[in-house]
Amino acid sequence: MTTTAGARLDPKFVSLVWIGPERAVELAEMHARLFSPAWSEASMQDSLSHPGSTAFLARVRDGADALPEPAGFVMGQLAADEAEILSIGVLPKFQRRGVGSLLIEGLARAAKRAEARRLFLEVAADNQAAFALYRSCGFTAIGMRKGYYTRKDGEPQDALALALALDR
């Protein structure tokens, strides 16, 4: 993916809204616009209902006179002193404008408040945009999982495991 950086959004125009299973339909629709295969509404609902589920919807006002519109989401899971990013996505119109970074910062803050010490995630080894985002947020590679994902055409795809220390 070679999206060029767009006009950075002023963070005051980006709000992060905590969401739960009541937003599963909206989230499944957004997920389907960004991922293939997409998660079903039922699996989204299941994931958002899990104890420890922490998810945010980013809403953006693209200019002082604009109405807020959904721009992206992050879904995380907190367990004991560890947290994991299960999925993150930003709609194409808002990519390269800082929304992904704000979503990660929001989740990292929530995880830290819940006393998590590290934030983990897995990313497909060929997802350069996501890898660049995670690196820019301070994540470092801690391992590789061979054939962790299966592509639509059945091809196995390796995953990189990344971690971010949540400093006290």
Ligand X SMILES: CC(C)(COP(=O)(O)OP(=O)(O)OC[C@H]1O[C@@H](n2cnc3c(N)ncnc32)[C@H](O)[C@@H]1OP(=O)(O)O)[C@@H](O)C(=O)NCCC(=O)NCCS
Amino acid found at 115: E
Query: Active site includes 122?
Result: yes
* Catalytic site residue from 134, 148, 149, 155: 134
As measured in angstroms, the least distance from the Cβ of 117 to ligand X is 21
Q: Indicate the helix (H) or strand (E) that contains 157.
A: strand 156-165
Decide whether 3 or 43 has the Cβ nearer to ligand X: 3
As measured in angstroms, the least distance from the Cβ of 98 to ligand X is 5
| 161 beta partners | 122, 143
DSSP for 32-51 reads HHH-SSPPPHHHHHHHHHST
| 54 beta partners | 76
Near ligand X by CB under 6 A: residue from 116, 130, 160, 162: 130
Query: Active site includes 134?
Result: yes
As measured in angstroms, the least distance from the Cβ of 28 to ligand X is 14
The counts of H helices and E strands in the chain are: 4, 7
31 binding ligand X? (CB under 6 A)? no
Decide whether 114 or 129 has the Cβ nearer to ligand X: 129
Active site positions, annotated: 122, 134
